Chains A and B, each alone.
Chain A
Amino acid sequence: MVNYAYLIPLFPLLAFAVNIFWGRRLKAKSAPVAILAMLGSLVISCLILKEVITGKTLEQSVEWFKVGRYSFEAGFLVDPLSAMMLCVVTLVGLLVEVYSIGYMRGDKRYHLFFAYVSLFIFSMLGLVLSNNLIQTYVFWELVGVCSYLLISFWFEKKSAADAGKKAFITNRIGDAGFFLGLSTLFYYLGTANFTQISQRLMHHPEGLSQGILALAAVLIFCGAVGKSAQFPLHVWLPDAMEGPTPVSALIHAATMVAAGVYLVARSYAVFAAGHLSLEVVSYIGIITSFMAGSIALVQTDIKRILAYSTVSQLGYMMIALGVGGYSAGVFHLMTHAFFKALLFLCAGSVIHACGVQDIRQMGGLFGKMKVTATTCLIGCLAISGVPPLSGFWSKDEILLSVYNSGNRVLYGLTLIVAFMTAFYMFRLLFLTFFGKPREKLHIHKPAPTMDWPLIILAVFSIFSGFVGSPLMGHAFSRFIYFHPEHTEPNYMVMISSVIVGLAGISLAWVFYILSPALPAALAKNFQPVYNLLLNKYWIDEIYDRFIIQPFLRLTKFAFSFDRYLIDGAVNLTGTSCVAVSRVKGWIDKYIVDGLVNLIALVVGALGEVFRRLQTGLIQNYILLIFTGVVVIVFLLRFI
């Protein structure tokens, strides 16, 4: 079965081709095409996962092309990490597509939506299966393009078009780093193959410069920073909420942001070998997760809260990877995929049902949307780390590896982030589903195709954590095995994580159920902090002020330089050329032509005179000849 791994990305690609070429004719049938393809991929992925669990791995590659002594290959690698990701991506993709049937109903580009989603998932699956960095980069860019297409899917709205552009450009900045990193690595090690790189770095590290490896690792991490929305390139993700909500779920859970974490996990050997590169990863992770978590505390747009929550959780994964908790990071990537997809789809249902996105306008929706509310509650419990849901186990793994790294400040900050996560998630939950309705909203019930994915995801959100829990002997950790990790359960860490989670939940309960006046008073008393958070640390403004505006000025300067200096020089050359040619034309016309004409005229005039000699009468000629002879004789005689 492992041999058929190439089929997994092939199915969505096929669905994309069908939908893009015949989508207009298929109309509503374009959804089943995409879903069937995804189902096929999911089935194969699960079968492959089953085989990989029994210890089978496979790497196949063919030579793609050759330049000099460097050979570029294309192939796929099936190992525990990719098998796990394949299942997560196809499962979430499938559920999101099923959900989209209801959510996107009536959209005029319905078939295009499914085409793009298929392409998106194809790109992600290709990325997951890649066995070398170069192929990864190709799919990496494809993922970027698809995110652009889907975020600005409703491009009639200017904000959506702008968000798509922002996502794409921000990602490009990171991708440039990624490309430099992979080039460095490729040049230095002579191969881009993951297995070979790991082999070389782990078993024959002698003679390799740590500095260069660290440089390569940090540059590759730049790509991950862009895709996984880490500080300072996180700005695109909250804006990406302009896309349709299923797309947000897809981006946040399965396809886009997971790519960055996956890349770091894939090239973990490089990070582990390079001096200080893991520290960079963990510091970026903690800055991101703390900042995004604090911003999420005060946001009011339901999707934006979730977006910042994703940024924060991705930071968490990066922290885990940075402190050496390889399996913890990957584990959290998996569990997060389920509960974040669930939360986004819940948010989508809520938006679909009541037509607004501001949680201050909602409230009391619990009775009207029981399935959505229940599953959302499960999602919130999972992300807040309440045992025994999946988020608890993965978060506990992360906290444990941070604790074991010995960095107490980092540990404290991660706990604070965990607290904030619990708080803002339950703030969202309470404001949306509990209390009294604050505004009269016309609610229409979501379709069953929108409920079932939620239920399935909720089940996964509850139970997917057990595979990595101490209860099952850290099965996940041993499955994903990269290097020996400290796996003994630490009850102190576990209890503290539960305590901060519950504290966050109860604080949210106090603030938004018990005494709803409290948050406003608090906001008034801490006005500067509140404003700072509400304006997202003014990062967008800072970028605008210090990067975008100077850049625009530069381009304006370049434009005017082009316009006045270059164009001016060109025009001057043109004008002077015309002037010179005018003079030359005049000379040609009156002097050169004049001379020629004069000669012709003189010759003509002479001919006019001398032709009279030609009478045609022989006797005239004879007379002339005779006269001439006489004259010559006389001349000879007398001169």
Chain B
Amino acid sequence: MIPLSHYLILSAILFSIGLYGVFTRRSAIGILLSLEIMLNAVNINFVAFAKFMAPQALAGQIFVIFTIGVAAASTVVGLAIIVAIYHNYKTIFVDEIDVMKW
């Protein structure tokens, strides 16, 4: 049986990859994808802890289902915003969209 620490390390690696993506991607869609990776890392954590801490209860697994649902919804909103931004600025590179400053 794979010990808990392996899951946690995988989750940490995935989270770091996502974080790196968020920091470095120019494209807003890229950032959204990276966010999804981070979310999945968190999901892995949920599932792993649920499996090892309280194998009888299904709370962890159900929570992940909710998270995935909410993430899908928020991604839709994010994509819609990106479409709107593209309409206005003809670009989706976040370093070019810097009007929200002094």
Contacts and interface: CB of A to CB of B under 8 A. Distances in A.
Interface of A: 611-612, 614-619, 622-623, 626
Given A617-B95, A618-B94, A623 B23 contact: yes
Contacts of B19: 626
B22 interface: yes
Contacts of B24: 619
23 contacts: A611-B102, A612-B102, A614-B101, A614-B102, A615-B98, A616-B97, A616-B99, A616-B100, A616-B101, A617-B94, A617-B95, A617-B101, A618-B31, A618-B97, A619-B22, A619-B23, A619-B24, A619-B31, A619-B94, A619-B95, A622-B23, A623-B23, A626-B19
Nearest to B102: A611
Contacts of A622: 22-23
Contacts of A616: 97-101
Nearest to A622: B22
A373 B2 CA distance: 164
9 A-B pairs with least C-beta separation: A616-B98, A616-B101, A611-B102, A614-B101, A616-B100, A614-B102, A618-B94, A617-B98, A615-B101
Contacts of A617: 94-95, 98, 101
A615 B22 CA distance: 17
Contacts of A619: 22-24, 31, 94-95
Size bracket of the B interface: 10 to 19
B37 to A, nearest CB: 15
Contacts of B95: 617, 619
A609 to B, nearest CB: 11
Nearest to A615: B101
Contacts of A623: 23
Interface of B: 19, 22-24, 31, 94-95, 97-102
A631 to B, nearest CB: 16
A623 to B, nearest CB: 6
A616 B97 CA distance: 7
A477 to B, nearest CB: 118
Contacts of B22: 619, 622
A604 to B, nearest CB: 13
A619 B31 CA distance: 9
Contacts of B98: 615-617
Contacts of A611: 102
A85 to B, nearest CB: 103
A615 B24 CA distance: 16
A616 B95 CA distance: 8
A374 B48 CA distance: 156
B92 to A, nearest CB: 12
A618 B102 CA distance: 14
Contacts of B94: 617-619
A460 to B, nearest CB: 113
Contacts of A614: 100-102
Nearest to B25: A619
A612 to B, nearest CB: 8
Contacts of A615: 98, 101
A614 B98 CA distance: 9
B25 to A, nearest CB: 8
A626 B23 CA distance: 10
Given A616-B100, A619-B94, 15 more contacts: A611-B102, A612-B102, A614-B101, A614-B102, A615-B101, A616-B97, A616-B98, A616-B99, A617-B95, A617-B98, A618-B97, A619-B24, A619-B95, A623-B23, A626-B19
A611 B31 CA distance: 26
B102 to A, nearest CB: 4
A611 B100 CA distance: 11
A608 to B, nearest CB: 10
Contacts of B101: 614-617
A615 B94 CA distance: 12
Contacts of B97: 616, 618
Contacts of A626: 19
A616 B98 CA distance: 4
A618 to B, nearest CB: 5
B29 to A, nearest CB: 13
A617 B25 CA distance: 12
A186 B95 CA distance: 105
B77 to A, nearest CB: 15
Contacts of B102: 611-612, 614
A614 B97 CA distance: 13
Contacts of B99: 616
**Which of B23, B94, B98, B102 counts the most A-chain CB atoms under 10 A from its CB?**
B102
A607 to B, nearest CB: 9
B93 to A, nearest CB: 11
A316 B101 CA distance: 113
B33 to A, nearest CB: 15
A616 B19 CA distance: 19
B90 to A, nearest CB: 18
B51 to A, nearest CB: 25
Nearest to B24: A619
A81 B22 CA distance: 126
Nearest to B23: A619
A425 B22 CA distance: 137
Contacts of A618: 31, 94, 97
A618 B98 CA distance: 8
A500 B7 CA distance: 161
Nearest to A608: B102
A556 B3 CA distance: 120
Nearest to A612: B102
Nearest to A618: B94
